[in-house]
């Protein structure tokens, strides 16, 4: 599913790229598609590779943390040394971090990641005061939304992933009926936001309980892999083409946004086991897919540089620069760490 994962990562990049002439599926919806894929893969590895929960937890942290720390370091260098950021200015950061409580909260959120999605619900003034804002507001330098103080702002979704990882070993043991019941509860909680005095986009996108059903859909999809494997291979290729076309051509759909969103959820859930059945042994597809995480984490660094220095061909430079940086991170950070992760699993199986 490598091309699909990269297409979703590029969808997030295009959403964050001012001046992009064409967008794929929106960035928020792309992230939620990643949740479905994540649920599928966690069910897969828990079904075969990991029988030690402690090893599963430590290896998931090793999967996310090294690249995140490198991206955070690069973002800090760009901000402090070059004054480049897509979301915040260095003087604003200094003004907020002069206040101990704000500095502790925001410093901890940058390092620990857990809870970053909640920062979208608060503004933080330059005198260090937090205020609850249950509606989406545009970014501001004088009164920023708290997420603007994250060096890697898009890493809020990693918080959601980590919470799912904490539950995944227990969820994987549940029957399909119970997983479906939990998913239904999550959907009901999500839809209840339509009647609350708050921004529905925040409610459905920046809270773990309202997004849990997407991970669960991925886990349920994994249970159809044996059936998918018995179908003709052409079925998987057709599913791949349909889902990829839906991701890339989403703006062309003659549907209201909410209807289109649920169509994408259904297509990705139904398509994942079929696509996996035809690509599970493809090393090239896996290599391409591995680019999705560094693309996701580093693209705002490049976009920030482009916005700050305003070079010609800004959109092309943003996309090209992101891809170059992503390949570099893949080769020199992700691959070495991945070899270590797999060696840890192999040693545990030997013992």
Question: For position 47, what pLDDT does the model report?
Answer: 85
Question: Which residues is 132 bridged to in the sheet?
Answer: 122
Are 275 and 1 in contact by the 8 Å Cβ rule? The answer is yes
At 141-189, the pLDDT tens digits run 888 999 999 999 999 999 999 999 999 999 999 999 999 999 999 999 9
* Residue 351 pLDDT greater than 60, yes or no: no
pLDDT over 70 percentage in the chain: 98
Q: Binning pLDDT at 50, 70 and 90, where does residue 350 land? A: low
* Residue 346 pLDDT greater than 80, yes or no: no
Q: What average pLDDT does the structure give for the chain? A: 94
Are 193 and 210 in contact by the 8 Å Cβ rule? The answer is yes
Are 181 and 4 in contact by the 8 Å Cβ rule? The answer is no
At 80-92, the pLDDT tens digits run 999 999 999 999 9
Question: For position 265, what pLDDT does the model report?
Answer: 98
Q: Binning pLDDT at 50, 70 and 90, where does residue 286 land? A: very high
Q: Binning pLDDT at 50, 70 and 90, where does residue 344 land? A: confident
Question: For position 115, what pLDDT does the model report?
Answer: 97
293 vs 299: CA distance, rounded Å: 10
* Residue 214 pLDDT greater than 60, yes or no: yes
Question: For position 240, what pLDDT does the model report?
Answer: 97
At 238-276, the pLDDT tens digits run 999 999 999 999 999 998 889 999 999 999 999 999 999
146 vs 78: CA distance, rounded Å: 20
At 95-140, the pLDDT tens digits run 999 999 999 999 999 999 999 999 999 999 989 999 999 887 777 7
pLDDT over 90 percentage in the chain: 84
Which of 15-24, 183-192, 281-290 has the lowest average pLDDT? Answer: 15-24
Question: For position 349, what pLDDT does the model report?
Answer: 59
- Give the residue-averaged pLDDT of 193-205: 94
* Residue 31 pLDDT greater than 60, yes or no: yes
- Give the residue-averaged pLDDT of 324-345: 92
Cα angle vertex 229, ends 32, 29, to 5°? 10
At 47-82, the pLDDT tens digits run 876 677 888 999 999 999 999 999 999 999 999 999
Are 295 and 3 in contact by the 8 Å Cβ rule? The answer is no
34 vs 84: CA distance, rounded Å: 28
* Residue 342 pLDDT greater than 90, yes or no: no
Question: For position 166, what pLDDT does the model report?
Answer: 96
Question: For position 135, what pLDDT does the model report?
Answer: 86
- More confident of the two residues 303 and 141: 303
By DSSP bridging, strand 122-124 and strand 130-132 are antiparallel
Q: In this structure, is the dihedral angle defined by the CA atoms of residues 73, 74, 79 and 81, taken in order, positive or negative?
A: positive
Are 218 and 39 in contact by the 8 Å Cβ rule? The answer is yes
- Give the residue-averaged pLDDT of 315-342: 94
Question: For position 348, what pLDDT does the model report?
Answer: 67
- Give the residue-averaged pLDDT of 317-339: 96
């Amino acid at each position: 599913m490598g091309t699909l994962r990269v297409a979703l990562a590029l969808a997030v990049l295009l959403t964050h790229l001012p001046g992009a002439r064409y967008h794929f599926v929106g960035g928020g919806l792309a992230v939620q598609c990643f949740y479905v894929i994540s649920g599928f893969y966690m069910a897969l590895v828990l079904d075969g590779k990991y029988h030690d929960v402690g090893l599963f937890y430590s290896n998931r942290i090793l999967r996310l943390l090294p690249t995140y720390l490198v991206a955070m370091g690069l973002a800090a260098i760009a901000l402090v040394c070059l004054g480049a950021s897509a979301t915040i200015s260095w003087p604003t950061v200094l003004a907020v971090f002069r206040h101990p409580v704000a500095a502790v909260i925001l410093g901890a959120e940058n390092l620990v990641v857990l809870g970053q999605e909640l920062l979208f619900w608060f503004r933080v003034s330059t005198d260090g005061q937090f205020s609850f804002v249950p509606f989406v507001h545009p970014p501001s330098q004088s009164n920023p939304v708290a997420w603007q103080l994250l060096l890697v702002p898009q890493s809020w979704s990693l918080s959601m992933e980590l919470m799912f990882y904490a539950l995944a070993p227990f969820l994987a043991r549940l029957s399909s009926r119970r997983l479906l019941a939990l998913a239904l509860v999550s959907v009901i909680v999500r839809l209840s936001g339509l009647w609350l005095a708050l921004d529905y986009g925040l409610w459905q996108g920046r809270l773990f309980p309202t997004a849990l059903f997407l991970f669960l859909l991925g886990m349920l999809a994994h249970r159809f892999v044996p059936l998918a494997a018995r179908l003709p291979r052409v079925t998987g290729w057709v599913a791949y083409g349909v889902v990829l076309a839906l991701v890339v051509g989403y703006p062309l759909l003659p549907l209201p946004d909410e209807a289109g969103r649920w169509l994408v959820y259904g297509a990705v859930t139904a398509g994942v086991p079929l696509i996996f059945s035809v690509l599970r042994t493809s090393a090239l597809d896996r290599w391409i897919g591995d680019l999705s995480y560094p693309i996701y984490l580093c693209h705002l660094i490049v976009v920030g540089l482009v916005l700050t220095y305003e070079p010609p061909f800004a959109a092309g430079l943003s996309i090209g620069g992101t891809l170059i940086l992503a390949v570099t991170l893949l080769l020199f950070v992700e691959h070495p760490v991945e070899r270590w992760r797999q060696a840890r699993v192999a040693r545990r199986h030997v013992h």
